[in-house]
Structure formats: structure tokens, C-alpha cells
A and B are shown apart, each in its own frame.
Chain A
């Protein structure tokens, strides 16, 4: 990046005398690049280099004692996929459900904040962001207390016989919620809800309220106004929000670790266990790349489909 800016074209040097006023000093022209430099260095050191390192690790073979050598062993990818596809599918499924739930919960909330909250707007915004003041881990552990077997939530669900229904559907287990898919999805939804609400709010807030009035003047019912005016205009927020929710949710492993059981392990748990416990670095790296590729493919497809090339 810096290289493209460094050499000043020679002809400009010779024209120096002739056009003294039009010449911008080299130092000045370089300023934007100097300003970019820290960011670029940061990306190289903390993003590009680790990525190359991981890519290399994924095609190595060996063991901790003998060391790992690059043997271009691409079969690791296939083996990892063959072994862990259920966790892959599960991760995508849980993340998708959590994203839809976030949208269903987050849209009315963002709408409320943007149009109806009035002087409470700032307070409600703070309430949305407040969970970030405590650690992710603590927040997730709190859900273990909320959903405890003997707790009021599960008690109420049991009294209403709702858990019988969800058990029949296979999303809970007996008369409990913890250590079931439902608990993991609840945790994911809760933890990533602010990532949905904030972009939705910014795009809703930008809508001129006079457009609503205009729609009303043209005899549009509120539902029609929402369908034809508000929702299309908030699409950038919807797209940004779903991406910000789906991508981290698909790679998350804390929720499944704490709220799930053996049958709810996600791909993040597998990567963690391969890296730290089994010490099979190539498989772990290959899984990371497969996850990245899968998410990238899905996101590209989604952006194409939703026709929003410019996010927000």
C-alpha cells in the first residue's frame, strides 16, 4: 500500500519550476498513507500473518514431539469434514435459529426505540447495551440460574405443559431446559441480541418520519406503510444485523459448553478440543478454515439475494 505512494513521478519533479503553485509537497501527499499505516500493520500482524500460519498448519502433519512439517496433506480437510459434519450442520442451524429469533425480538425493540421511545430513547439504548458491562461468561452462567431445573421459569413451563410439547419436538429433554438445544439457542439469542438491535436502530432512526405521514396521506394502512416503506428502508440494518449475529453465533462455543450437553456441541467446541486437548493442530486449523469458508459462502449468497451490496 505504501509502496504505490512512495515514488513521486519524475516528470512532476521537472515541472517543479514551471508550476510551483499546483504542486502538493510530497510529504503532504503521503499523509493519508501514513495515517493508514498503523491500521495496515495491525491487519498484517494480527490478521494476515495468523491466517497464513493457520493455513500452513492445516496442511501439516506430525506430532508435538516430532514437530509438524508442511506435507501439503489436504486430506485433513476432507477427514475433518467427514468426521465433524454433524457439528457443522448443528452450528449453522443453531446460529440461523438464533438469528431469526434475534430479528423477531430485535426489530420491534429497535422500532420502539427509533420512533416511539421519545425522551426515554437514551435510557432504553443504555439498557440494550448494559449487558456488555459484564463479561460474556458471567452472562451465560446467569442463564444457568435462570433456567435451573427447580427454578421458576422451568416450573412455569412445566405447569403449562409446554415442556411436554418441546420435548416431543426434540428441543428439550424431559422436564428440563438446561443441557438441551433450547437452552443453547436461548443463550445465543440473548448474547447476540444487541448486535441485531444496534444496526436495526441506526437504519430505522435514519428514516424520515414524514415518509410515514406521506404514506398515510396516500391512504396506506399502517401495515401497508410498514411493508412498503419502513421495512424496505431498514433493509441495510436487517442485513447488517443478521450478519453481525449469525457470524459470531456460528463460531461460538461458550453457550454450548455451559448450557448444552454432549449432543449440543458446536464446531467451536470441536476446534477448541482439537487445539487444546487432542493437540491435533492440523485438524483444528482445517476446521477453522472450513468454518470460515462456509460462513463466507453463505454470507456472499445472502448479500446477493438480499440485494444490499452497500451495508448500512
Chain B
């Protein structure tokens, strides 16, 4: 006990020696801590940089999506016989030598309008990101006609970025648009958009991979143990969730938040049980062809193409119904050649032209009266319900409700969580 008291007092209490004090003073006046004019300036500079940085940060920000008054855009069509048309890749008929687009050529010959046809749309979200800043600032995107999927059209129309079309100038389009597509909730009366192609989402399977079994419902996709780990769903939220809703006996046309959550929970079970292999974009066709995916949700146009190369590919239209989305032609605001664009829209609603296009790209044709014309080109295509849906088939087609921006954010976030990102 005693020797404890003999210990030296704790170090901090020891006063600094004279040498140490001198050294400290030296370093404060002339050393690295010395406050000189230069160091003051430097500190001031740093402060200014911080303040400037803060100002720069707050100066950014993204302007609200301004409603450009699309109606006031001047149409230069009468003076300028030109048209800039942006479309998806491989979404147009091609001549045998692969260099020309016959229907487009015929349009240019007939009207004398010089067309710039660009295949620069690969993805709705990506393309939106590309043109968003220009449209938000009320600038011309340099495109007179664009093709986007319905839910993206809904967003762009509600943002006020799309010019209304002049119904007077669209006689064929008004007369021949299939009843199924006439009055979507997001564009009542087709004031802003016309369908380029319909895209049915159905079930496709590879009989070699399923061992000859037929796969014809979402329940089977999600539960059949023989398909475990070889089932694909699309990363397109509306198609995947829409088909699941139909399978549960609910209508995607009036989906509620609860319906949506229930459908996602069902899909989540498929993910957790490792039943679902992947959520895919366009790349599912390759997997299905090879048999890595035994069965999947697929776009009808791809199925028609795949079937022509691989006899093992089959499709089934679920009894509960299927989803049809549409890609739509629209004229963005500030585009200079709306009149020319309207002529092109109307042109593609002539049954002869529509048949030529349908024969080449194999998606669902939105034009009435095409059957006879298509039969002249290819009889089997004209009888294919995926290209020209008969009444029974059309009656089972459903589409997703137009979502408010807020809903769409929430739904997309939940779907992103489901797909792992």
C-alpha cells in the first residue's frame, strides 16, 4: 500500500520546461503554426472556396418540368418539306439488301418530304433522360416524331411536352385504329398519340427444356417445381405485375396499392424460392432459345421471330388474360414539322402500308382492315392471332392503369427492390 504514494504525480500536471515553452512560442510565430500574411490569405482562400462551393452546390438544382405551351409551337411544315423521325432499332421494314426501308421510301416519293430516319431509341428511360433537359427548358429536341411506350407517353403528355394532333389531318388513322386502342385513360380520344405497334406480353416456353410440358399460366411459372430456376419474368414492371394481377383475378386497369403489394409479394415468393431465375430485358430471347429459360413472360413479336428459327418455341395466352402495351407515335413540343409528322402517322394507318410493316416486324398491328392485305403477302402471318388478334383474343387483352407520378415512383421503387436493385 505504501509504495503507491511514492509514484510520480501524473504527467499532465508537470509544468512545461522553459525549453519547451520557447519551442512552442517559436512554432507559433515562425513555425508551421505561425500566422503570417500568406497563411491568412490561404485560409481566406479556403473559406472562399468552401463558400463558393456551397453557392455552386445550391445554384444547381433541377427546374420543375415546365409546361411548354405545345399548342403555340409554330409549324414549319408548309415551308420545309422535312421530317426527323426517331424510332427503336429494328422497328421498321427493311428491303432485301438491308439498306432501304420500303414503306418510308414510298412515303418520301409520294409526299416529297425528305426524311431523316434515326434508330436512336433503345430504352424508354434512357431516351427520356436524353431529351428531358431540352423539353424541360422548352427547347426543340430536333425530333419531329418519336415512338415511346404508353406509360412513358402518359408521363410526357402529363408533363405537357407533347403537341396535340390535328384530327382533321388524320383521316385514315381515325377510321382504322382498332377499337381496343381507341381511348386509353392517359390520352382520351387519342389527342396526342397514335399507336405504332401493340406489344402483347404472353407466356413463351421451350418444349425441349420443359420436357414437352405446356406452360400456360403465371401460377405455373411461379409454382411448377419442374421449372425451378428456369423461369424468367420481364423487367418491364407493368407487363410482369399486370400478368400476375390477372392471374390473381384482379384487373390491372384499376390496380390499387394493395393489389400491387399482393402481386409483388407473390413474385417475391418466386424469387425467394429460387423459382425465378432472372428479370430480363430483351436478352431473354437468347436464354429461351438455348433452353436456359424453360418458360418466361415474353413479348409476342419476339415469339413470332423465335418460332421461325426454333420449332421448340411455343407460346400460350393465359386464360386469365394477357397484357397489351403499345408503342406510340408522338410529336414533342417545339418540333418544327408537326404537319409532316401527321402525314406520316396517317400514312401508316393505310391498310396496305400497315400490312407491309406488320409482315416485317411481327408485332400486333393496331390497324383495322389489314387482314386481306397481309394475306396477300403471307397467309400464315395473317392468321397469327399475335399479329392480328381475333375478337376472342382482343377481349382478353388488358392494359395497366395510368399511374400518377407519385404512384409510379412508389411502384417502381418496390419493383426495383423485388429485382434486387
Contact with A along B399-421 (1 / 0, CB 8 A): 00000011001001101101111
Known: A65-B65, A280-B413. A52 touches B287 (CB 8 A): no
- Find out whether the CB atom of A281 lies under 8 angstroms from the CB atom of B419: no
Cβ contacts under 8 Å, A219 to chain B: none
Partner pick for A176 among B58, B129, B229, CB 8 A cutoff: B229
| B308-365 CB contacts (< 8 Å) to partner A | none
Q: Chain A contacts of B64 at CB under 8 A?
A: 62, 65-67
Chain A residue nearest to B418 (CB atoms) is A262
Instruction: Give the CA-CA distance A276 to B125 in the complex, in Å.
Output: 5
Q: Contacts A148-B292, A179-B278: A277 and B420 contacting too (C-beta < 8 A)?
A: no
9 contacts between A and B (CB under 8 A): A53-B60, A56-B61, A66-B64, A144-B287, A148-B292, A258-B283, A262-B276, A277-B125, A278-B413
Interface residue? B290 (CB, 8 A): yes
B266 to chain A, nearest CB (A): 15
Q: By the criterion CB–CB under 8 Å, are A262 and B419 in contact? A: yes
Partner of A265, one of B230, B287, B415, B420: B420
* Complex: chain A residue closest to B155, CB-CB: A64
Q: Tell me which of B65, B125, B283, B421 contacts A141 (CB under 8 A).
A: B283
Question: When A179-B277, A280-B413 are in contact, do A52 and B291 touch as well, CB less than 8 Å?
Answer: no
Question: Which of chain B's residues have a CB closer than 8 A to the CB of A174?
Answer: 228-229, 274
Instruction: Give the distance in Å from the alpha carbon of A68 to the alpha carbon of B58 in the complex.
Output: 11
B126 at the interface (CB under 8 A from A): yes
Once the chains bind, are B58 and A70 in contact (CB under 8 Å)? yes
A297 to chain B, nearest CB (A): 21
Q: Which of A69-123 contact B (CB under 8 A)?
A: 69-70, 87
One of B159, B291, B416 near A277 (C-beta < 8 A): B416
8 A Cβ contacts from B78-118 to A: none
Smallest CB gap from B414: residue in A: A278
Give the contacts of B41-71 with A (CB-CB under 8 A): 53, 56-65
Distance of B180 from chain A, by nearest CB (Å): 27
Distance in angstroms from B64 CB to nearest chain A CB is 3
Query: What CA separation (Å) do A150 and B209 show in the bound complex?
Result: 10
Interface check A43, CB cutoff 8 A: no
Chain A, range 25-59, C-beta contacts under 8 Å to B: 52-53, 55-57, 59
The yes or no answer to A270 lying at the interface (CB within 8 A) is: yes
Chain B hits for A55, CB < 8 A: 57
- A281 x B62 contact (CB < 8 A): yes
Across the two chains, which residue of chain B brings its CB closest to A70?
B58
Cα A270 to Cα B419 with chains together (Å): 10
Q: Tell me the bound Cα distance from A197 to B56 in angstroms.
A: 41
Is B286 located at the chain interface by the 8 A CB criterion? Answer: yes
- 9 smallest A-B Cβ distances: which pairs? A67-B64, A56-B60, A262-B420, A265-B420, A269-B421, A276-B125, A265-B421, A68-B62, A70-B58
Chain B residues with CB under 8 Å of A66's CB are 64
Q: Is A306 an interface residue (CB 8 A)?
A: no
- The interface residues of chain B lying within 8 Å CB-to-CB of A277 are 125, 412, 415-416
Q: A56-B56, A269-B420, A277-B412 are in contact. Are A64 and B283 (CB under 8 A)?
A: no
Tell whether A189 is near chain B: CB-to-CB under 8 Å. no
| Assembled-state Cα–Cα distance A64/B64 (Å) | 6
Q: A2 at interface (Cβ–Cβ under 8 A)?
A: no
> For residue A274, which residues in chain B have a CB less than 8 angstroms away from its CB?
416
| Chain B residue nearest to A58 in the complex (CB) | B57
Measured in the bound complex, the distance between the Cα atoms of B279 and A52 in whole Å is 34
Q: State the B residues within 8 Å of A (CB).
A: 53, 56-65, 123, 125-126, 129, 159, 228-230, 271, 274, 276-279, 283, 286-287, 290-292, 405-406, 409, 412-413, 415-416, 418-421
Assess whether B61 is in contact with A60, with CB atoms less than 8 Å apart.
Answer: yes
Q: How far is the CB of B12 from chain A (nearest CB, A)?
A: 32
Given contact pairs A52-B53, A278-B413, enumerate 8 new A-B contacts (beta carbons under 8 Å): A56-B59, A64-B405, A65-B64, A67-B62, A145-B290, A176-B292, A269-B420, A274-B416
Contact (Cβ within 8 A) B229 A173 = yes
Contacts of A59 in B (CB 8 A): 57
Residue on A nearest B286 in the bound complex, by CB: A144
- Give A120 Cβ to nearest chain B Cβ, in Å: 36
A265 in contact with B419 given A63-B409, A65-B65, A67-B65 (CB within 8 Å):
yes
Instruction: Compute how far the CA of A178 lies from the CA of B283 in the bound complex, rounded to whole angstroms.
Output: 14
> In the bound complex, what is the Cα–Cα distance between A273 and B126 (angstroms)?
11
> CB distance B229 to A87 under 8 Å?
no
Q: Which of B53, B277, B415 contacts A261 (CB 8 A)?
A: B277
CB distance from B268 to the nearest CB of A (A): 10
How far is A77 from B10 in the complex, measured between Cα atoms in Å?
44
User: What residues on B are CB-neighbors of A224 within 8 Å?
Assistant: none
- Contact assessment for B278 and A262 in the assembled complex, using a CB-CB cutoff below 8 Å: yes
Which residues from chain B contact A52 at a C-beta distance below 8 Å?
53, 56-57, 60
Q: Which residue of B lies closest to A279 (CB)?
A: B409
The interface residues of chain B lying within 8 Å CB-to-CB of A270 are: 416, 421
Report Cα–Cα, A18/B415, bound state, in Å.
78
Given the complex of chains A and B, what is the CA–CA distance between A272 and B230 in angstroms?
26
* A60 near B278: Cβ-Cβ < 8 Å: no
- Is A149 interfacial (CB-CB < 8 Å)? yes
- What does the 1/0 interface line of A271-292 toward B look like (CB < 8 Å)? 0111111111100000000000
Scoring B123, B126, B413, B421 by chain A CB atoms within 10 A of each residue's CB, the highest score goes to: B421
A:170-186 near B, CB below 8 Å:
173-174, 176, 178-179
Q: Closest Cβ of chain A: how far from B317's Cβ, in Å? A: 27
- The residue from B56, B277, B409 contacting A280, defined by CB atoms under 8 A apart: B409
Contacting pair B421 A272 (CB below 8 A): yes
Query: Are A60 and B419 in contact, with the CB atoms below 8 A?
Result: no
- Whether A150 and B60, one on each chain, are in contact in the complex, defined by CB atoms closer than 8 angstroms, is no
Is A191 an interface position by the 8 A CB rule? Answer: no
Q: Is the CB of B61 within 8 A of A69?
A: yes
A148, B290: Cβ atoms closer than 8 Å: yes
Question: CA of A63 to CA of B283 in the docked complex: distance in angstroms?
Answer: 31
User: Given that A52-B57, A65-B405, A67-B64 are contacting pairs, would A275 and B277 also be in contact in the complex, using a CB cutoff of 8 Å?
Assistant: no
Contact B409 A57 (CB under 8 A): no
Tell whether A264 pairs with B58 under 8 Å between CB atoms, given A52-B53, A67-B63. no
* Docked complex Cα distance between A11 and B96 (Å): 78
> A149: which B residues are within 8 A, CB to CB?
230, 290-292
Q: How far is the CA of A149 from the CA of B289 in the complex (A)?
A: 12
> Which residues from A are CB-within-8-Å of B286?
141, 144
Convert A141-181 into 0s and 1s, putting 1 for each residue whose CB lies closer than 8 angstroms to a CB of B. 10011001110000000000000000000000110101100
Q: Would you give the shortest CB distance from A141 to chain B, in whole angstroms?
A: 7
8 Å CB interface, A231-268 against B: 258, 261-265
